[in-house]
Amino acid sequence: MVAYAKRAPAGSPGDVSRNAFRNIPPRDLSPTNPPTYYGAPVKMVANQAAAIEAGDTAADFYGVIVRQAYGVDGAPLVIDPGFGAGTPDPEVEAAIMTDGYILVTCNVGTPVIGDPVYMRVVAAPPMEVGDFEATPDGANNVLLPGVTFSVAGTDSSNVTEIFIK
């Protein structure tokens, strides 16, 4: 049995972390600019979920792409945390969380419960456009209104939980 001295792994980015208080509508993914990883912020373009791009604003943020698996009938299902890593398939309708608790990666700053979440809109390697961050960085990231951290800190993979209101 593994013992964790400080904090157990939180799960994988894109995992729905609490089933209460959630809204996860299905959306088609943009064929030209799909999100490339689960737990990524998305915007809506021509009624399709697309990856956040350089120069986008907080108003462009629509939600976060949810990790999903497929049921016996082939329909996408939102499943429990712990599902293996993968890449969203732009050919398949995706689940996008617009309200609720979800796991994401935070590579900048230390999340504090109730503190605001920022989204990077200007790349500054190793930070990439679309990264969630815990600290402001001038015009390089934008404050996401109604999005807060719901746990303190991150696990060893920088995974944390946010709440989208």
Contacts from 138-145 at CB under 8 Å and sequence distance 24+?
Answer: 142/56, 142/57, 142/58, 142/118, 143/58, 143/116, 143/117, 143/118, 144/41, 144/58, 144/61, 144/116, 144/117, 144/118, 144/119, 145/58
Give the angle subtended at the CA of 78 by the CAs of 146 and 102, to the nearest 5°. Answer: 30
61 inside domain:
yes
Beta strands in 40-140 (DSSP E): 41-45, 48-51, 63-65, 68-70, 76-78, 94-97, 99-108, 116-120, 132-133
Question: Per-residue pLDDT averaged across 60-89, rounded?
Answer: 66
7 inside domain:
no
Question: Per-residue pLDDT averaged across 27-49, rounded?
Answer: 96
47 inside domain:
yes
Prediction pTM value: 0.86
Question: Per-residue pLDDT averaged across 143-161, rounded?
Answer: 97
Beta bridge partner(s), residue 132: 106, 119
pLDDT at 40 over 80: yes
Structural domain total, the chain: 1
| pLDDT score, position 15 | 87
Mean pLDDT over the full length of the chain: 88
What confidence tens digit (pLDDT) does each residue in 75-86 have? Answer: 555 543 334 446
User: What CA dihedral angle connects 75, 81, 85 and 89, to 10 degrees?
Assistant: 30
| pLDDT score, position 81 | 39
| pLDDT score, position 6 | 53
pLDDT at 36 over 50: yes
Distance CA 142, CA 131 (A): 11
Question: Per-residue pLDDT averaged across 139-164, rounded?
Answer: 97
Domain containing 105 equals: 16-164
100 inside domain:
yes
